[in-house]
């Protein structure tokens, strides 16, 4: 059997730093994955110049797609979809659609990426809406997958059901968890609580064989390790994820104040600074991991807008893993199986 | 002018510890507020026995209302409302309704308290749904009021508008902030984001004079001090608040692990244990402050179910403050003013 040579299209112009972080990340990825092929989408002279400065000329595993436009972080999604047809983001997604590459990675405007990806790649059969999914830290060893983190604001019961299926496939395929425990995020663990959509989604999931649905989970258990996959609508997921970031900042700030107030602790605070720093970084998962946009007929990984080289590299790694595990095909198979079981 | 003598009805049987924490809290409150009068609702022989053990007999500022039933933490709200008519919780709320006391405090089942309070006290004119509001810590000095934390799952634009008004009154009256900055919690700061209800609520708030509406805020800014009052529906507020608790636990756990991995830090970890402990406590505001149930024709303060003496005492203090500031009357005035301005 021939080994799969993963190929990725990278939106080199997205994010707060553009080529400054995407170029070193791309070069590190080529080193890490000897069979990786890259298509760099963006302003070709700028990219070639940056590669040259990094000592790279005529690298056979790199090719370029020149883009004359750029989706800005402030662009409205609908406008970016209509008017930025020659942008690196659009080109990268079109390369996936044309099957010239297996996946694309972007650190650009999230709303625009979702809108353009949805339009260019289309949804998988059986999936109505896309979801952003990310692996969060947990008190136990394994990370926990949470979706949707902001792609779909209002979700009906069927959409939440599909998200649960997709999340389970991600946990199985990407982390390798067998029969991942799937939970719905709710405001109480009792069956009587929550909105009508959530109650109906719970019923659909309870009736579904082939999914390890464990019921409702509350916000205080997102990180406890009780569940491997946590499902909610995009509004709630986005607020929860960003609230984590806010809490982490507040805790670090208070820890610093609290240390200052204790003279002996203040004297030895250099000892604990790396502890605080690593905590803060660990609590900002979306800065360090990519979020995958799933439910589409292609693999799209979104790196944080404030992505450093390491963050963008981590998003590339994630894309490679999803290519190797053929995530969209697995999601499609799983949803088709559910439809057959229901019929 | 005669000084107001605040009188409170206390549900002595609620919470995980019942009289074990409510009796010492009640006695501490009588010491702290020389004009306070208390009506202790619950199993009278049990309460009298507990007071006697504490050395208190024939305290003229205490009277009893004997209750033969008890709302349990696991009771469903609708069932508690229908069948627990002789419970301490119900009695305490009825005393408020009959104007025998100015306010009530309970550490009991939140859902039952909301259902019974709503039924017994009724809504203020101009308010459609009750809201749970609590003061959260912030990176700046002042706390931030957030509502709704779980009383009303689905909120339309009018309800969110009323919550904004009520939250502003709380911040003005209870903390003393002039023209508090009011924000809507959303998944982005741009005008185009969020659900239809939120967009419409934003429009209503923008058009309203006499409210310092500053627009949308994201989850990462809940604690940043950008806003004094943060408004969202009960589902989102509940998830956000509980997520904070989950993140705080995760951070503390990771800090402990991180300290253990550093030999010198581990050796000196006793120095930083109080820092971690105070952080965790500071991040569990609803364990330490009461949440007020507002929008009703009476003052109801909910102490955490896991309330210790100090937590229940803090809820009593909050009730006294709301009695002194006549919060429900101020909310009513504010909403009437808005209706007049609109007409």
Query: A188: number of CA atoms within 13 Å, CB side?
Result: 19
The total of other beta-carbon atoms located within 10 Å of residue B254's CB is 18
The total of other beta-carbon atoms located within 10 Å of residue B199's CB is 16
Task: Confirm or reject contact between A79 and chain B (CB < 8 A).
Answer: no
8 Å CB contact of B153 and A279: no
pLDDT tens-digit profile, chain A (343 residues)? 456 789 999 999 988 889 999 999 999 999 999 999 999 999 999 999 999 999 998 899 999 999 999 999 889 999 999 999 999 999 999 999 999 999 999 999 999 999 999 999 999 988 999 999 999 888 777 889 999 999 998 899 999 999 999 999 999 988 899 999 999 999 876 655 678 899 999 999 999 888 999 999 999 899 899 999 999 999 999 999 888 888 877 877 777 777 777 776 666 666 667 666 766 666 655 556 789 999 999 999 999 877 788 889 999 999 999 999 998 898 988 888 877 776 6
A264 in the same domain as A150: yes
B258 in the same domain as B228: yes
CA distance B337 to B332: 9
B85 in the same domain as B42: yes
For residue A7, what pLDDT is reported? 97
Which residue in B154, B259, B279 is closest to A258 by CB distance? B279
A149 in the same domain as A241: yes
Which residue in B243, B253, B283 is closest to A240 by CB distance? B243
Q: Which residue of A lies nearest to B138 if distances are taken between CA atoms?
A: A250
Q: Which residues of A touch B149 (CB under 8 A)?
A: none
8 Å CB contact of B246 and A283: no
DSSP A217: E
The 3 state secondary structure assigned to B266-318 is HHCHHHHHHHHHHHHHHCCHHHHCCEEEECECCEEEECCCCCCHHHHHHHHHH
Write out residues 230-289 of B within 8 Å (CB-CB) of A.
232, 234-236, 238-251, 253-255, 258-259, 262, 264-265, 268, 271-272, 274-276, 278-279, 282-283
For residue B1, what pLDDT is reported? 44
Q: Which residues of A touch B245 (CB under 8 A)?
A: 219-220
Strand, coil or helix: B46? helix
A206 in the same domain as A75: no
Write out residues 6-65 of A within 8 Å (CB-CB) of B.
none
CA distance B204 to B260: 53
Size of interface A-B (CB pairs under 8 A): 178
8 Å CB contact of B220 and A246: yes
Q: Which residues of B touch A258 (CB under 8 A)?
A: 274-275, 278-279
Quick check: ipTM above 0.95?
no
For residue A341, what pLDDT is reported? 75
8 Å CB contact of A279 and B244: no
Is the Cβ–Cβ distance between B105 and B191 less than 8 Å? no
Distances (CA, A) of A117 to A171, B183, B201: 23, 32, 30
Q: Which residues of B touch A275 (CB under 8 A)?
A: 255, 258-259, 262, 265
Q: Which residues of A touch B218 (CB under 8 A)?
A: 238-239, 242
Q: Which residue of A lies nearest to B250 if distances are taken between CA atoms?
A: A139
8 Å CB contact of B232 and A248: no
A132 in the same domain as A119: no
Residue B338 lies in a domain: no
A224 in the same domain as A258: yes
For residue B280, what pLDDT is reported? 65
8 Å CB contact of B278 and A258: yes
8 Å CB contact of B220 and A239: no
Residue B55 lies in a domain: yes
Is the Cβ–Cβ distance between B70 and B107 less than 8 Å? no
8 Å CB contact of A236 and B235: yes
Query: B179: number of CA atoms within 13 Å, CB side?
Result: 5
8 Å CB contact of A138 and B190: no
**Rounded (10°) CA dihedral A253, A255, A259, A261:** 70
A281 in the same domain as A143: yes
Q: Which residues of A touch B227 (CB under 8 A)?
A: none
CA distance B168 to B162: 10
Residue B209 lies in a domain: yes
State the burial class of residue B81 (Cβ atoms within 10 Å of its Cβ: 0-12, 13-18, 19+).
buried
CA A265 to chain centre: 39
Percent of chain B predicted with pLDDT > 90: 63
CA distance A183 to chain B (A): 14
Residue B339 lies in a domain: no
A117 in the same domain as A214: no
Task: Confirm or reject contact between B150 and chain A (CB < 8 A).
Answer: yes
* Among A39, A16, A232, CA closest to A110: A16
CA distance A216 to B329: 39
Q: The sheet that has B229-231: what strands, in order across it? A: B62-66, B37-42, B7-11, B103-106, B299-302, B291-294, B131-136, B144-147, B229-231, B181-185, B212-217
CA distance B217 to B193: 11
For residue B3, what pLDDT is reported? 62
Which residue in A139, A239, A241 is closest to B185 by CB distance? A239
* Among B66, B72, B155, B70, CA closest to B110: B72
Q: Which residue of B lies nearest to A220 if distances are taken between CA atoms?
A: B246
Residues 6+ apart with CB under 8 A from A126: A162, A332, A335, A336, A338, A339
For residue A92, what pLDDT is reported? 97
User: Which residues share a beta bridge with A299?
Assistant: A103
Residue keyed to tokens 């989950």? B246
For residue B178, what pLDDT is reported? 93
Q: Which domain holds residue A104?
A: 1-125+295-325
CA distance B82 to A247: 40
Residue A117 lies in a domain: yes
The total of other beta-carbon atoms located within 10 Å of residue B265's CB is 18
Residue B340 lies in a domain: no
Residue A334 lies in a domain: no
CA distance B214 to chain A (A): 18
8 Å CB contact of B259 and A272: yes
**Rounded (10°) CA dihedral A15, A21, A23, A29:** -100
8 Å CB contact of A195 and B235: yes
Number of residues that make up chain A: 343
CA distance B136 to chain A (A): 11
**Rounded (10°) CA dihedral A129, A130, A135, A136:** -60
CATH of residue A49: 3.40.718.10
Q: What are phi and psi of A213, to 5 degrees?
A: -85, 125
Per-residue model confidence as pLDDT tens digits over B1-21: 456 789 999 999 988 889 999
- Tokens representing B11? 């549900």
DSSP letter string over A280-343? Answer: HHHT-HHHHS-EEEESBSSEEEEPPTT--HHHHHHHHHHHHHHHHHTHHHHHHHHHHHHHHHH-
Q: Which residues of A touch B153 (CB under 8 A)?
A: 187, 194-195
Pairing mode of beta strands A291-294, A131-136: antiparallel
* Structural domain count, chain B: 2
For residue A312, what pLDDT is reported? 93
CA distance B124 to B112: 20
For residue B283, what pLDDT is reported? 60
B103 in the same domain as B138: no
Per-residue model confidence as pLDDT tens digits over B34-89: 999 999 999 999 999 999 999 998 899 999 999 999 999 889 999 999 999 999 99
Is the Cβ–Cβ distance between A235 and A129 less than 8 Å? no
B29 in the same domain as B154: no
CA distance B294 to B114: 10
Is the Cβ–Cβ distance between B229 and B164 less than 8 Å? yes
End-to-end CA distance of chain A: 36
For residue A1, what pLDDT is reported? 43
8 Å CB contact of B241 and A219: yes
For residue A283, what pLDDT is reported? 60
For residue B322, what pLDDT is reported? 93
Q: Which residues of B touch A194 (CB under 8 A)?
A: 153, 235
For residue A142, what pLDDT is reported? 83
B255 in the same domain as B136: yes
Residue B195 lies in a domain: yes
Residue segments in chain B with a per-residue pLDDT below the cut of 50: 1
CA distance A238 to A150: 5
User: Which residues share a beta bridge with A134?
Assistant: A146
8 Å CB contact of B251 and A283: yes
CA distance A249 to A263: 23
């Amino acid at each position: 059997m021939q080994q799969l040579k993963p190929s990725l299209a990278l939106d080199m112009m997205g994010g707060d730093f553009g080529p400054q972080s995407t170029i070193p990340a791309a070069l590190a990825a080529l080193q890490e994955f000897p069979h990786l092929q890259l298509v760099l989408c963006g302003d070709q002279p700028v990219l070639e110049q940056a590669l040259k400065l990094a000592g790279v000329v005529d690298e056979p595993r790199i090719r370029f797609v020149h883009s004359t436009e750029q989706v800005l972080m402030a662009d409205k999604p609908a406008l970016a979809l209509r008017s930025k047809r020659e942008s690196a983001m659009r080109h990268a997604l079109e390369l996936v659609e044309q099957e010239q590459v297996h996946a694309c990675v972007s650190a650009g405007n999230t709303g625009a990426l979702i809108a353009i990806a949805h339009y260019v790649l289309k949804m998988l059969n059986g999936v109505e809406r896309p979801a952003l999914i990310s692996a969060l830290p947990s008190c136990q060893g394994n990370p926990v997958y949470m979706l949707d983190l902001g792609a779909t604001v209002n979700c009906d019961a069927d959409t939440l059901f599909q998200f649960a299926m997709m999340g389970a496939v991600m946990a199985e395929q990407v982390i390798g968890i067998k029969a991942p425990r799937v939970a719905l995020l709710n405001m109480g663990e009792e069956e009587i609580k929550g909105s009508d959509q959530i109650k109906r989604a719970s019923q659909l999931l309870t009736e579904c064989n082939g999914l390890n649905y464990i019921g409702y989970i509350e916000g205080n258990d997102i990180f406890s390790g009780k569940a491997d996959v946590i499902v909610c609508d995009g509004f709630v997921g986005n607020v929860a994820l960003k609230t984590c970031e806010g809490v982490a900042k507040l805790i670090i700030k208070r820890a610093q104040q609290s240390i200052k107030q204790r003279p002996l602790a203040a004297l030895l605070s250099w000892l604990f600074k790396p502890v605080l720093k690593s905590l803060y970084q660990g609590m900002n998962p979306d800065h360090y991991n990519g979020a995958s946009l799933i439910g589409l007929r292609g693999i799209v990984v979104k790196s944080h807008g404030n992505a450093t080289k390491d963050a963008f590299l981590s998003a590339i790694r994630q894309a490679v893993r999803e290519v190797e595990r053929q995530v969209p095909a697995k999601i499609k198979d799983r949803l088709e199986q559910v439809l057959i079981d229901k019929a």
